[in-house]
Amino acid sequence: MRHVLILGGTAEARALAAVLPDEGFEVTSSLAGRVKRPKMPVGSVRVGGFGGIDGMRAALVDYDAVVDATHPFAATISANAVAACASRQMPLLRLERPGWEERGHSSWRWVDTHAEAAEAAAECGKRPFLTVGRQRLGEFTEPLKDLAVLARVVDEPALDLPPAWQLIRDRGPYTQAAEYSVLHENHVDVLVTKNSGGEYTWPKMQAAYELDVPIVIVRRPPVPDGVPMVTDVDEAVAWLHAES
Ligand code: NAP
């Protein structure tokens, strides 16, 4: 039986892990181990970094193919997978959910980096709602230290937040009604997000649109060159069968 390593941490990765055994594949999912209580995929799971490209290269001895289904903004692990798989001539597929470009509104303010997002947020409002993840908050603390920022994270961040900031700890999926309430009741006047794409975190975008709240959105990092890419689980299954 072909053994597939799924680089995970996303809903797509969990969905792929759930269907592959019925398709005749053995599966191991890999998680970074950042979140205290991660949503676990079904089946076999390994947790923690591999130790860079060399560590991943060594680990690949146990597998026949790799599906990189990590988050679109997890650029380091994706680049490591390209290098490690190339050095072993191991088939590598990128499974990446479509971004929100096609659903975008002309009023969205697109930026390339989180630092630019902080600047844009300060220009747009006084009560920004940061939904960029715990690991990126450090890029906002100094530029937005005097604003009454509302920041939503899954786990407590390991940094001191400015006294004016308010933290919400929660995790998706979110409903549109709940997102509307969060924005409305907290008087949010600018939403800051990454172009995560997919349905899971889309309701905040729709709520912001309904409330006429401007959106600052960070573009995705570039996709590594030369790696075949699909956008849904069915296509990933088809690719794996073709590679077998
Ligand atoms: P990253 O910056 O690309 O990766 C940093 C390091 O974390 C990697 O070099 C690797 O360590 C380890 N790592 C990352 N993903 C791993 C995985 N699936 N399995 C084993 N090791 C992994 O990643 P990140 O942005 O910190 O994201 C970490 C994880 O959270 C990813 O798996 C991603 O799918 C998930 N996630 C990220 C975001 C986001 O906005 N970035 C959002 C939702 C979920 P070694 O070099 O030691 O191998």
∠ CA 227-230-235 to the nearest 5 degrees? 130
Q: Are 142 and 196 in contact (CB under 8 A)?
A: no
Which of 145, 148, 38, 116 has its CA nearest to residue 132?
Answer: 116
Q: Where is average pLDDT lowest: 1-5, 110-114, 125-129?
A: 1-5
The pLDDT of 212-224, averaged and rounded, is 95
Is residue 99 a contact partner of residue 25, using CB atoms and an 8 Å limit? Answer: no
- 177: exposed, middle or buried (C-beta count within 10 Å: 0-12, 13-18, 19+)? exposed
Total number of residues shown for the chain: 244
Would the pLDDT of 1 be above 90? no
Q: Mean of the pLDDT values across residues 47-67?
A: 98
Decide if pLDDT at 140 tops 90.
yes
Q: How far is the CA of 39 from the centre of ligand 1 (A)?
A: 15
Pairing between β-strand 92-95 and β-strand 229-230 as defined by DSSP bridges: parallel
For ligand 1, atom 13, name the residue with the nearest CA. Answer: 32
Ligand 1 pocket at CB < 6 A: 7-10, 30-32, 34, 49-52, 55-56, 70-71, 73-77, 80, 133, 135
Ligand 1 centre to CA of 77 (Å) is: 6
How far apart, in whole angstroms, are the C-alpha atoms of residue 27 and residue 32?
17
Average pLDDT over residues 117-130: 98
Q: What is the reported pLDDT for 172? A: 87
CA dist., res. 197 & res. 69, Å (int): 13
Ligand 1 centroid, distance to 119 Cα (angstroms): 26
Say what the alpha-carbon torsion angle 143, 144, 146, 151 is, to the nearest 10 degrees: -150
The fraction of the chain above a pLDDT of 70, given in percent, is 100
For residue 197, how far is its CA from the centre of ligand 1 (angstroms)? 17
The answer to whether residue 107 scores a pLDDT higher than 90 is no
Three-state secondary structure call for residue 101:
helix
Q: Which residues contact 62 (CB under 8 A, 6 or more apart)?
A: 3, 5, 28
Model confidence pLDDT, tens digit, residues 143-176:
999 999 999 999 999 999 999 999 999 998 899 9
Ligand 1, atom 37: closest residue by C-alpha: 71
> Per the omega criterion (within 30 degrees of 0), is the bond before 91 cis?
no
Q: Which ligand 1 atom lies nearest to the CA of residue 196?
A: 40
- To test ligand 1's pocket by mutation, which of 10, 14, 71 has the most ligand atoms within 8 angstroms of CB? 71
Q: Is the pLDDT of residue 224 over 90?
A: no
Rounded Cα distance, 204 and 179, in Å: 5
Distance of CA 32 from the midpoint of ligand 1 (Å):
5
Mean of pLDDT values over 205-234: 96
pLDDT at 228 over 90: yes
Cα of 35 to ligand 1 centre, how many Å? 11
Look at ligand 1, atom 14, and give the residue with the nearest C-alpha. 32
C-alpha 76/C-alpha 55 separation (Å) is 14
Report the pLDDT averaged over residues 213-241: 96
Average pLDDT, integer, range 6-33: 97
